[in-house]
Structure 1
Amino acid sequence: MEKILTIDIGTTACKVIVFDLQGNILAKANREYPTYTPQIEWAEQDPLDWWKEAVEGIKQVVQVAGADDIVAIGLSSQRETVVPIDREGNVLSRAISWMDRRSRVEAEEISRQFGKETIHKITGLIPDSTFTATKLLWLKKHQPEILQKAYVFLQPKEFIGYMLTGQAATDHSLASRTMMFDINKRQWWQDIFEFVGVKTSQFPRLCYADEIIGYLKEDVAKFLGLKNGIPVVSGGGDRPSEALGAGIVGSRVMESTGTATNVSMSSNKVPESLDPRVVCSCHVIRDHYLIEQGINTSGTILRWIRDNFYRGEKEKGENVYELIDNEAESSGPGANGVVLLPFFMGSRATRWNPDAKGVLFGLTLTHSRADIARAVLEGISYEIRACIEILESMGLKAENIVSMGGGAKSRVWSKIKADILGKAVVVEKVQEAASKGAMLLASYAIGARKSLIEEKREVLFEYQPDSKNYEIYNRVYEIYNQLYNSVSHLYSKISQY
C-alpha cells in the first residue's frame, strides 16, 4: 500500500503524519518546540528545534506505519517566519516569527515609501509587522551583518525541504506572504527588495505547491530510516494547505481556530472590489487565490484563561477545556453583560491596529469566571462575524461555514458561532486539514491522483442558528463594535507603559 508522509511546521509544534492515498491517517506524531521571547513583543524560534522534532516525529510514525511504500513527502508550515542560512547551510540566527511585533516601525516606513494602496494592489497585503519584508528591514537596521552573510532566506517548510533535499525552493503561497511578491504577475517585486536591502538571489527559486523540489538525500534517508531518493513535494503555507484539505471552494468559508483564527475563501481571480482591509494571497491550487482575514489571538486567549482562571484544576490534571465549555454554557447568550475585545496581540482582519489590546468590559461583583469564559468565546466569534461581513461586502457568497482546528472540537463554541453568525456551522470529519492538503499536493505531484479537490465531504456535526439567540447577539455585537471605537484611541497611549 503506497503512503504519503507529511511534515507540518506549525507555530507551536511539528506534526508528522503518514497517510494512505485515500487520505486515511495511518500514524501521526505531534512534537512541540518553544517560542523564545527575549524582549517584549519579540517572538523567535530555533530552526534546529523544527528539524529536531521533525526527525523525532518521522522516526515515531515510521515505527507505527513502516518505512516501506512511502512514495512521497509533502510539506506545509506557518508563514512569514524567516530564517537566514549561509552558503554551507548554517543557521545565522533564530527565526523571527510571524507573531513578532518588533518591526512595527519598519512596517510604517514601508507604508510611507510605497503607499498602502500600492502595496495592497501589488502584494495583496497590508503593511504590518507580520510580513517578512518588515523583519528584513529591521535586520538591515539592527543586525546588518546577517543580511550580508545570508545566502538564502527561508520560511519554515522551506528550511525542512532544504534539510531533506539540499534544495532551496519556495512556492507561491509562501512567497506571497513576504510582502515582496507581485501576486498579479507572480514574480518578485524588485522595488521593495532594493528598499529592504536584499537581493532576489537571496530568496529560493519559485515553484508551484504541487511541484517536486528535490529528492531525499542518501545520508538523511539513512538517518531517518527511509528509502533514498523519495520525492519531496514543495507544499505550501499552513492556511492555504488547510483550505485545500477542507475543500474550501465556491461559497464555502473556512473558519480555522488554533493559536490564531483564520477566515478564508478561495477565488480563481483577485476580486476587483478587494476590500483594503482584506489580505489576498496565492493559493496552493495553481492560478487560484485565497482571500484571508485573521485574528492574532484566539486559542491563545483560551490558554490564557486556562492558566490564569483555572490554574487549580489544571494542576489537578482535570480536563480544563471541557470545564471551560461547561461553565461558558451555564452563563448563557450575552455572557450576562460581559464583552471581550480579543486583541491580546494587536488586531488584524477588520481593524489592522498593532497597538490594540484586549478588553473585558461590563464586569461587576456579580460576575463569575463562567461569564468571562463565555465572553471569550463570544468575543472571538464577534470578530469572526466582522470578517465574514467584509467578505460579503465584496460580493462573495459566504454561505457555508466550515469550522476547523482545535476550536471546532468545542460543541458549545460551535453553537455560539452559529448563533452569532446567523449561519449554519459545519464540522467535517477531515482531520489535520493542513497535513491533508500537503498529502493531496504530494500525491498529485507524483501522479497518484487526477484532481486536488475532493468532492465527497463527510459531516460530523452541523450547528443551526437559534433565531432568539441571534437577536440577542445582534444587539451585543453592536455594543462590541461601539466598544472598540470608543477605546481605540487609547491603545497607543497605554502601549507606552
Structure 2
Amino acid sequence: MLVYAVDVGTTNIKVVLYDDRLQRLAGASREAVYERTENRVEFDPGQLFDLILDLINECAHQVVGTAQQDAVIALTGQAESLVLNDSSGQPVRAAMSWLDDRATDEVDELNERFDSADAFAITGEPFPSSTWPAAKLRWLRTHEPRTLSATRQVLMVKDDLIRRFTGVPLGELTTRGFTYFWNVPKGEYWDDMVDFTGVSDDSLPDVVSAGADLGPVRQTVLDRLPPARGYRVNSGALDHFCAMVGTDSYNYGLVSESAGTVLSLSMLRKDWAFDALTKVSFHPAFEAGDTLLFNGADSGGVALDWYRREALRELTYEELEESLTTRAPRGLLPNAPVFLPYLTGVNPPDYLPLAKGAFLGLELGHDRIDMAYAVEEGVAHLLKRNIDYLGGTVREIVSSGGGTTSRFWNQLKADVCDVDVLVPEEREATCRGAAILALVASGELSSRDEAAALNKPAVNRYRPSGSGDHESRYRLFDHYLRSLYAHTPEMEN
C-alpha cells in the first residue's frame, strides 16, 4: 500500500509519498497562492485542489510500480480557512484564509454577545479572534448577506478537500475547535453561536474522527490521479497533532514544539480539567478521556527572521550560528541584553494587548551578535513561559520545524527550559504523522506505537547544562516583563 500524505500548509502545499513501512519514496511541494488586499487574504479552493492533484502526480512519477498498488490520500494541514459553496458544491465566493484579518469589529460583537468565560468553556478557545470562521461569517452576514443566502455548505479548507475527493463534505474532529462554533466538551455544534453567525445547521458538515477511513475517491477525480489499483481517503488530523504522531511525541509527559515562524506547543493530557483562569486552548484528542492542549505564539522564529533581515543583512543563518557558537561556546552570554519577543503584541500565556518587542539592559559594549543571542534567548524564554503554563510533568520537548536547524538554539532552549530537547531528523513530521494514521486505519499497521518504530528517523538529543545562570536570566526576563506591564489586568492576575 502507498500513502500520499497531503499537508495543506499556510506557506507551502506539500505531498509526501510513503510505502506501508513508512519509507519515504518521493516528495513535492509548491508555494500556496493568495490574493492579498490590505487585511484581506483569499484563495481559490478549486485552484488549490488542482495543485494537490499535480503534486500527487509529481510524486508518483518519481516512483516505479505505483500502478500495481492500493493507495490512500491522507489529509492534514491548517484548519480555519473558510470555504463557502452553493448546493452543487461550487464556491459562492473566494475562500478566506485564516490569515484574513478583516473581521476585527466582529470580534468585538462576539465579545459583547457572549460571556468570554462561558465561550471559552464551550469552544476551547480563550478569546474570540478574526482568525476563526465564526467572526468571518459574522462579517459576511453584515457585508455580504447575499453570499450567505446563496451558501449551502460552510466548510473549512480540509472539509472542502474531503468533499472534492469523495463527493461528501465532512469535518474532521481535531480541527473543529478552531471554528469558534463547536462545543468541544459535548462534541457538537454550538447552536447559539451558529445562529449568531447567520448560517443554518444543515450547512455544516457531519464530523468524523481523526484518522478515519472515508471511503473511495470518486470516479471523476480518479481520472486525474496516477494509475493505482484503487484510492481511498483518510481524514488525517490537524497539522500540529499529526506532527506529534510523526515525531512520536503523542505521549504523556512530552511537549511537541513547532519551531517555525510561529512558536506553537501541543501537549497530550489525561483527565485534564477545565480551569477558566488558565488560558490554554483545548481540543479533543484521538482517544476518549484525553485532551490536547495547544498554545501558539506569533513571536516565534519570525523574531529572528526580523532581526537578521534588519540588522544582520549580509550575515547568513550559517554564519550567525558560527558567530554565536564562537562567542558563547557554553551556550551562555550572561551579560547580553534581554529581549522581549513581543513584536506581534499579544502572545500566550500572558496575552498582553499593549506589549511590544524590546531590548533591555543595552550597553555600549554590546554588538549585533550579543543582540542576536538575546533574540534567540527571548524566544526560548517565551517557550519556557508557555511550558510552565501548560502544567503537568514535562519530561522532554520534541522540536520540529525550521528553527531546529540551529544546534545552538536547540541547546539554548534545553538550557533555558531545563528539559531535554529532542530533534528528530524528520523534515516532514506532519506528513509522516498523517501517513501513520492512514496505515493504522487501513489495517496495515496495528497501532501508532508499531508505526513509531518503522523507518524511525534519527533523533538528536540536547541535554540541559544545569547552569543556574540561565535561571537568573529568565528571572530577569520575567522582571522586565512585569515591570513594563505591571498595571495591566493580565499581569495583575
* Alignment correspondent of 2:491: none
Q: Does 1:162 align with 2:158?
A: no
Quote the offset at 1:410 in angstroms. Answer: 1.5
The Cα offsets for residues 232-271 of structure 1, whole Å up to 9 and x where unpaired, read as 1111211111112222211111111123121111124443
Give 3-state SS (helix, strand or coil) of 1:224's partner.
coil
Quote the offset at 1:390 in angstroms. Answer: 1.0
Give 3-state SS (helix, strand or coil) of 1:482's partner.
helix
Per the normalisation by structure 2, the TM-score is 0.89
* Alignment correspondent of 1:322: 318
* Alignment correspondent of 2:477: 480
Which consecutive aligned stretches of 4+ in structure 1 deviate over 6 angstroms post-superposition? none
Quote the offset at 1:163 in angstroms. Answer: 2.2
Counterpart of 2:469, as a letter, is I
**C-alpha contact (below 8 Å) 2:2/2:72 kept by paired residues:** yes
* Alignment correspondent of 1:28: 27
| Cα separation, 2, equivalents of 1:371 and 1:284 | 44
Quote the offset at 1:165 in angstroms. Answer: 2.1
| Cα separation, 2, equivalents of 1:360 and 1:377 | 12
Going from structure 1 to structure 2, the CA distance change for 1:140 and 1:297 (only over 3 Å counts) comes to: farther
Going from structure 1 to structure 2, the CA distance change for 1:409 and 1:72 (only over 3 Å counts) comes to: same
| Cα separation, 1, equivalents of 2:34 and 2:377 | 28
| Cα separation, 1, equivalents of 2:379 and 2:258 | 12
Going from structure 1 to structure 2, the CA distance change for 1:374 and 1:437 (only over 3 Å counts) comes to: same
* Alignment correspondent of 1:63: 61
Going from structure 1 to structure 2, the CA distance change for 1:48 and 1:490 (only over 3 Å counts) comes to: farther
**C-alpha contact (below 8 Å) 2:167/2:218 kept by paired residues:** yes
Quote the offset at 1:54 in angstroms. Answer: 1.5
| Cα separation, 2, equivalents of 1:323 and 1:163 | 46
Counterpart of 2:292, as a letter, is L
Counterpart of 1:292, as a letter, is F
The Cα offsets for residues 5-26 of structure 1, whole Å up to 9 and x where unpaired, read as 1101011001101111222211
* Alignment correspondent of 2:417: 421
* Alignment correspondent of 2:45: 47
Give 3-state SS (helix, strand or coil) of 1:110's partner.
helix
Counterpart of 1:131, as a letter, is W
The Cα offsets for residues 445-476 of structure 1, whole Å up to 9 and x where unpaired, read as 222222133454665211111122xx223223
Quote the offset at 1:406 in angstroms. Answer: 1.7
**C-alpha contact (below 8 Å) 2:334/2:469 kept by paired residues:** no
1:207-218 equivalence runs, <5 A: 207-218=208-219
* Alignment correspondent of 1:174: 175
| Cα separation, 2, equivalents of 1:97 and 1:411 | 33
Counterpart of 1:443, as a letter, is L
**C-alpha contact (below 8 Å) 1:281/1:290 kept by paired residues:** yes
Going from structure 1 to structure 2, the CA distance change for 1:95 and 1:416 (only over 3 Å counts) comes to: farther
Quote the offset at 1:273 in angstroms. Answer: 4.6
* Alignment correspondent of 1:309: 311
Quote the offset at 1:198 in angstroms. Answer: 1.6
| Cα separation, 2, equivalents of 1:488 and 1:45 | 39
* Alignment correspondent of 1:258: 260
Counterpart of 2:322, as a letter, is N
Name the Cα RMSD after superposition: 2.6
1:172-211 equivalence runs, <5 A: 172-211=173-212
1:68-217 equivalence runs, <5 A: 68=67, 69-129=69-129, 130-217=131-218
Counterpart of 1:102, as a letter, is R
Quote the offset at 1:363 in angstroms. Answer: 4.0
Structure 1 range deviating more: 433-442 or 357-366: 357-366
Quote the offset at 1:286 in angstroms. Answer: 5.8
1:352-431 equivalence runs, <5 A: 352-353=351-352, 356-392=355-391, 396-431=392-427
| Cα separation, 1, equivalents of 2:318 and 2:57 | 32
Structure 1 range deviating more: 222-231 or 441-450: 222-231
Structure 1 range deviating more: 299-308 or 437-446: 299-308
**C-alpha contact (below 8 Å) 2:76/2:239 kept by paired residues:** yes
| Cα separation, 1, equivalents of 2:58 and 2:25 | 12
**C-alpha contact (below 8 Å) 2:253/2:395 kept by paired residues:** yes
Quote the offset at 1:52 in angstroms. Answer: 3.8
| Cα separation, 2, equivalents of 1:17 and 1:474 | 41
| Cα separation, 1, equivalents of 2:41 and 2:307 | 21
Going from structure 1 to structure 2, the CA distance change for 1:146 and 1:478 (only over 3 Å counts) comes to: farther
Quote the offset at 1:331 in angstroms. Answer: 4.5
Q: Does 1:276 align with 2:278?
A: yes
| Cα separation, 2, equivalents of 1:188 and 1:39 | 32
Give 3-state SS (helix, strand or coil) of 2:61's partner.
helix
Structure 1 range deviating more: 52-61 or 322-331: 322-331
Counterpart of 1:295, as a letter, is A
**C-alpha contact (below 8 Å) 1:110/1:127 kept by paired residues:** no
Structure 1 range deviating more: 76-85 or 429-438: 429-438
**C-alpha contact (below 8 Å) 2:336/2:371 kept by paired residues:** no
**C-alpha contact (below 8 Å) 2:83/2:91 kept by paired residues:** yes
| Cα separation, 2, equivalents of 1:47 and 1:195 | 26
Quote the offset at 1:357 in angstroms. Answer: 3.5
Q: Does 1:466 align with 2:465?
A: yes
| Cα separation, 2, equivalents of 1:375 and 1:432 | 29
Give 3-state SS (helix, strand or coil) of 2:223's partner.
helix
Going from structure 1 to structure 2, the CA distance change for 1:23 and 1:349 (only over 3 Å counts) comes to: farther
Quote the offset at 1:291 in angstroms. Answer: 0.8
| Cα separation, 2, equivalents of 1:489 and 1:366 | 30
Once the two structures are aligned, what percentage of the paired residues are identical? 28
Quote the offset at 1:169 in angstroms. Answer: 0.6
Quote the offset at 1:412 in angstroms. Answer: 0.8
| Cα separation, 1, equivalents of 2:90 and 2:237 | 23
1:444-459 equivalence runs, <5 A: 444-453=440-449, 454=451, 456=453, 459=458
In structure 1, runs of 5+ residues without a counterpart are: 314-319, 492-497
Quote the offset at 1:490 in angstroms. Answer: 11
| Cα separation, 2, equivalents of 1:27 and 1:325 | 30
| Cα separation, 1, equivalents of 2:230 and 2:399 | 37
* Alignment correspondent of 1:316: none
Counterpart of 1:59, as a letter, is N
| Cα separation, 2, equivalents of 1:356 and 1:46 | 35
Which of 430, 434, 454 is 1:434 aligned to? 430
